[in-house]
Chain A
């Protein structure tokens, strides 16, 4: 592995990348993947130096997702009818008493999964489930095979095109049930399929299904009146229903994030409020009013205590998920109104090690905020309209 890293380091240096040495043999590396709002381009930025390492042309403007491992970034191209994959070049592994970090060149992989209108992406346990709304088909690929270049694709057909999602759960798959009478509307529930594709049990009703996330060993799926909560059971997933509490005003969650390091979920609840959700607590929902409408939010995978919310007044807020309070706010951009089209270019948030990054698409800028002081430390110019952003990286020993 040592010689491998030396080669990787040399390649990285050629690309202008230098991992940060924090101890004698402890390295830190973070990369940002930023998709342009209107152009079919993905820029890869070294989060430590702020320099652009490489950019890739995709077939259409992309929405980016990172795998749980961080080894792969997926470019989901709804209007290009394809999903492409990028090897991030960074992998970390945990060895109990130490962690390892391996750094290689970032590259666009020679593979693509084609289908009509891919939208939702879910990685659960290393199995990537891509849902193609235009066909009502989920295509499931193991990340390991994606990185090897020739993934086997398992297809699950739901019977009708719809805005759906699939989530692998061990040997099982949770997949949306379309609204058969009105397929243009949101799904009506979840079915559980076993390894052979046979339904296990009946439909788990979830009208207006939209939004899912995993945190630790729990998967949550948002519905009109509450959340479906899936956990491992003796014979596959066990699914229960957690209704919204009576203390919440009328509303529902349509976007969910899962906490990292602490087990919780963060959801929207109407345009200008969010909810912190602990499905295991008696009082599972804590609603937090925002000063203005929410543009985007992200959980902090490095400092589990915090999540971040960007609001349309151009401010980034630090949310303490333990106290349930906004603890700090920072004016960062000009206002970005939530009026207009839902997919207009607006800021997106990602956390990379000790820094928080916020795209500012109308200013062709990436803002960098120090996570500890919560102060802006630099602006990085990015061509075009930097929009969707994901971060990949970590620290570890380079053997």
Chain B
């Protein structure tokens, strides 16, 4: 029974495996990535030298993810566990404890300059002592491509520390991927620059785009705070509707990880048409438009620009 469970666990959670083509003299490095974006970074850096397990897969919401016994099993066998940190993965601590993993748990936001969560939500939650799990720091640092480069460097460093023989390969892969990231960032900046200054306020479901806003100059409003777990207050929703009616927001979007109902309600009470789906905390499935991090960033800015310029 246990054997069959292990087979099932591997089939369920391993998204990309690369046995056999790694160096003949070494087992692939067993890497667990907490969610899909980190999984994509890890695969780009690790190439065929790693066996990758991604816990929260495409379109999955790490904020409210409930880890499974199979996840604990994967973690117990891992050499390296790559996580975002900044309290993004609320499930992480109990999974580390349950699995008793001896792997290095690497926080990829190390070296990122953290930004605070948006003031209005910090204020409300502080007053009400409502449920949230992030402290006061916005954890979505990966929404800035400059930060993604830091994630990638941290991954390369972690892989080098665990597998010195593969270090040259990891560093070369990281360098090549970082160049692609830089190209994507140039495109994002150019797209934002083409949007008129007075059209740069948009609405999404939850506060996932603080770093994007900080890096590229769009303003994102959201009825939910930085965790999808916290419910939006009626006052937040009313304030957003008022903003739209005063023509202060140019477009509204649903997110791939959140229920669209709230956004559809806001759209219904205003004249804004939902401008499409933004990929916030997770990639799309392979047949979607954002199955890699770079595709996600390109898709998001194209969707935003299309909705604003078409409005």
Contacts and interface: CB of A to CB of B under 8 A. Distances in A.
Interface of A: 93-97, 100, 215-218, 232, 234, 247, 259, 261-264, 276, 278, 280-283, 286-287, 303-305, 321-325
Contacts of A281: 5, 8-9, 12, 68, 70
Contacts of B67: 261-263
A144 B169 CA distance: 58
Nearest to B72: A322
A96 B134 CA distance: 5
Interface string B245-260: 0000000000000011
A251 to B, nearest CB: 15
A contact patch SS? loop
A278 B69 CA distance: 8
B72 A305 contact: yes
A282 B69 contact: no
Given A262-B98, A324-B2, 11 more contacts: A94-B132, A94-B133, A95-B129, A96-B132, A247-B1, A263-B68, A276-B69, A281-B5, A281-B68, A282-B11, A283-B7
Contacts of B71: 262
A93 B70 CA distance: 29
B37 to A, nearest CB: 21
A278 to B, nearest CB: 5
Interface residues of B, number: 36
Contacts of B134: 96
Contacts of A215: 66
Interface string B69-82: 11111001000000
A263 B66 contact: yes
Contacts of B76: 322
B96 to A, nearest CB: 11
Given A262-B66, A283-B4, A287-B1, A303 B87 contact: no
B68 A278 contact: yes
Nearest to B133: A96
Contacts of B4: 247, 283
A287 B1 CA distance: 8
A96 B64 CA distance: 13
Interface string B1-21: 110110111011000000000
B94 interface: yes
A287 B2 CA distance: 9
A34 B72 CA distance: 34
B99 interface: yes
Contacts of B72: 262, 305, 322
Contacts of A94: 131-133
Contacts of B99: 305, 322
Which of A97, A216, A322 has the most C-beta atoms of chain B within 10 angstroms of its own C-beta?
A: A322
A93 B1 contact: no
Contacts of A216: 64, 66
B98 A322 contact: yes
B54 to A, nearest CB: 14
B287 interface: no
A218 B64 CA distance: 12
B1 A264 contact: no
A325 B69 CA distance: 12
B217 interface: no
A262 B65 CA distance: 10
B198 interface: no
Contacts of B2: 286, 323-325
Interface in B112-143: 129, 131-136
Contacts of A280: 12, 68
Contacts of B271: none
B98 A96 contact: no
B98 A282 contact: no
Which of B5, B7, B9, B259 has the most C-beta atoms of chain A within 10 angstroms of its own C-beta?
A: B5
Contacts of A264: 68-69
Nearest to A283: B8
Interface string B134-164: 1110000000000000000000000000000
